[in-house]
Amino acid sequence: MDSNYNEQSTPAVCASCLGPNPYVEMLRERNGLECKLCTRPFTVFKWAPVKGRVGSGSFKKTVICLTCARSKNCCQSCMLDLNFGIDLTTRDQLLKLASGNGGKIEKTLTQDPQNQVMKIYKADQLERKYAEQGEAGVADLSEKMDRAKELLDGITKLSESTSSNKITNKKSSGKQSTVTNGKKMSSAELLKLCKDLPFNGRLSVPPTNKKVKSFFIFGINDRIADYLIKEKINELLSEPRNSSKKVESLSVNHKGMFGFIELSDRATAERLASIISSKQSPEISRGNASYPFPCLLVIDSCPMRVCWAGKHLYNGGDSGFEMANIRQIVIRQMVKYAEKDNEISIKRESKDDHSILSASNKKRKLQALPPPPGKSIKYKTTKSDYEL
């Protein structure tokens, strides 16, 4: 074994683990623990990153052996990559991206043996290999960084060029995704399923039952996280971020593309309803007429519809078959309401007392800027997402 790069004398630890002090006092224990990766005993080092500090996180120690750390190029203590300070899964993902689809590099890094004997055997083999290589096996640091930078540059360029392609791919692939196993539901069954899902509800008229303080949302895209909806509603209610006080609970059924929001009290619920519906149709709400459909809510450029929930929230089954059926209804409804919105906006434009010029001006404005949520034009463009 090479004495310069020796397990007995120096741990391979990253700068952040060592702490700010250039003089670190270390405790060494030969064969102190078993390596968490290869289960062989190894020399454990223990030190305090900040001297004299008490309490949590005041000591660090090495948890894997030098051979394992070297094979993964990670810190012996925190197991972050030595060059970048990022975790190994992300690093391997990046290497995979860098090497294209037929990635060779990451295979050797991620496929670890599961069996203990194999683990030990593999580690021994690696150790022998490194001992033979000696110093030559360790690449020069600056060289490494240059190569890494090249790789990163390539990856970011690649992602920028392919990101637009990817989105279009997703759209096309989404069209084939509904599978109902060849079975069909009878209309009676469907009705029963959708008993508590008010697809034809509205937001502008609060329900007479004063106990109702929840909303029904549908059209929720799979990539919208629950907390994003929560944050959006807090934002609409102009509450500080992360204060979950106003939103009592939020449950989303991603397979059925619908969900329910429960607010803390009826007053806030009514406030939220008026905020969302005023965004939907400023002209209508000013007049006496109310918007007769569920209102549009756009989160992260994904459109969804909101209306008051009924007395009972959905309590039906949640099998894949049922959810697929509900999902199809949701999609159909989303398309229907989008078309109705179009009709309304066209009617409104023709009925409007404004001159043609101002109307066209308005239209141009809407097209130039990213349209605010609630404007039908935005929805028209994203409608194709919902055709399956």
Partner 1 sequence: MTDSLVTVKKSGVAQKKVGRRPARVQLDPATINADSKPAQTGQVFNLWYSKWTGGETNGKALLTHSKTRCHLKQDSGYTNADKHVKPDSINRDKFICLYFARGYCCNGKRCEYLHRLPCDLDFFPPTLDCFGREKFSAYRDDMSGIGSFSRINKTLYVGRINSLENNGEMLIAKNFGEFGDLVRTRVVKDRKIAFVTYKLESQAQFAKEAMHGQSLHEDDMNEALNIRWANEDPDPKAQKREREENEMHALETAKKLLKSMNASEQSEAKRQRTVEVPSDDDVEEEVTTKLIEDVKPAKPLIRSIIKNDSLDVFRQLQLKRTREAALVKKVESPEVANGNSGLQSIIGGYGSSSDDDDDDDDDN
User: Residue 262 has which token pair?
Assistant: 């429960």
User: Residue 40 has which token pair?
Assistant: 């062989």
| Amino acid of residue 254 | H
Looking at beta carbons only, is 12 or 338 nearer to partner 1? Answer: 12
Looking at beta carbons only, is 97 or 284 nearer to partner 1? Answer: 97
Compute the least distance from the CB of residue 44 to partner 1, in Å. 13
Compute the least distance from the CB of residue 250 to partner 1, in Å. 6
Degrees to nearest 5, angle at CA 94 with 71 and 165: 160
Compute the least distance from the CB of residue 265 to partner 1, in Å. 14
Looking at beta carbons only, is 3 or 355 nearer to partner 1? Answer: 3
Looking at beta carbons only, is 82 or 326 nearer to partner 1? Answer: 82
Compute the least distance from the CB of residue 113 to partner 1, in Å. 11
Degrees to nearest 5, angle at CA 110 with 107 and 115: 110
Q: CA distances (Å), 338 to each of 216, 229, 301, 351, in order?
A: 18, 21, 15, 20
Looking at beta carbons only, is 185 or 313 nearer to partner 1? Answer: 313
Identify whether the C-beta of residue 247 lies closer than 8 Å to the C-beta of residue 234.
yes
User: Residue 226 has which token pair?
Assistant: 């629950």
| Amino acid of residue 119 | K
| Amino acid of residue 227 | Y
Identify whether the C-beta of residue 58 lies closer than 8 Å to the C-beta of residue 17.
no
